Amino acid sequence: MKKLIAQSLTLSLVLSASPAFAATGPFFSLRNTDFVVLLAFLVFLGILVYFKVPGKIVEMLDGRATGIKSELEEARALREEAQTLLASYERKQKEVQGQADRIVASAKQEAQAAAEEAREDLKKSVERRIASAEGQIASAEAAAVKEVRDRAVTIAVQAARDVIAKQMTAAEGNKLIDDAITQAGEKLH
């Protein structure tokens, strides 16, 4: 069938050659160049048909069409594989994103817990420092009171000594010394 189509196509091309009808003089003469060209063309077409060139061309075109179809099928298969792979990567990306979100949430909770613990530690540290400072203040206050008392006693003793020294005579002093010695002797025995 393909052979018949190729032959009818070549015949219709030959008959539709309009320059062959434009020549002057007898057409079927070897001196007419149009006739010679027509004969050469027909011989060329005959050689092509004899060596089955149109069939080979059709076979080559069919082979090419088959190759293109196989390449298209391969491309479709690759496309489907790529879509499957893409879907797999998208699922993995969603899973990784979920894990990342959970890690961030966990880190935030841990940071909040650490901040709360640090606040509690700071509060306890401040309370300890306040207690220590209050203790130091109380100790300093007690030391100051003792120092004031000691100083007051020292001043009172000094004042009493000055008063006694001004009012006492030598005889009264000797009498006081003798009384003190007597009292010390009684207390020691």
pLDDT in tens, 112-166: 999 999 999 999 999 999 999 889 898 888 888 888 888 888 887 787 777 777 7
Q: pLDDT value at position 81?
A: 95
Proportion of the chain above pLDDT 70, given as a percent: 86
Cβ-proximal residues to 3 (8 Å cutoff; 6+ apart), any chain: 54, 55
Dihedral of CA 133/138/139/144: which sign? positive
pLDDT band at 175 (very low <50, low <70, confident <90, very high): confident
More confident residue, 11 or 73: 73
The winner for highest mean pLDDT among 64-73, 113-122, 167-176 is: 64-73
Helices and strands in the chain, H and E counts: 4, 0
CB-side neighbour CA atoms (13 Å) of 39: 10
pTM, two decimal places: 0.38
Q: How confident is the model at residue 95 (pLDDT cuts 50, 70, 90)?
A: very high
For residue 101, is pLDDT > 60? yes
Residue 187 pLDDT greater than 90, yes or no? no
Buried b / exposed e over 88-122, threshold 16 CB at 10 Å, is eeeeeeeeeeeeeeeeeeeeeeeeeeeeeeeeeee
pLDDT at 99: 94
Lowest mean pLDDT among 12-26, 57-71, 167-181: 12-26
- What are the φ/ψ torsions at residue 7 (nearest 5 degrees)? -70, -40
Q: Which residue from 164, 159, 188 is spatially nearest to 177, judged by alpha carbons?
A: 164
3-24 pLDDT, tens per residue?
656 565 565 555 555 554 555 6
Residues in the chain: 189
Measured CA distances, 105 to 19, 94, 102 (Å): 88, 16, 5
Return the percentage of the chain with pLDDT > 90, whole number: 47
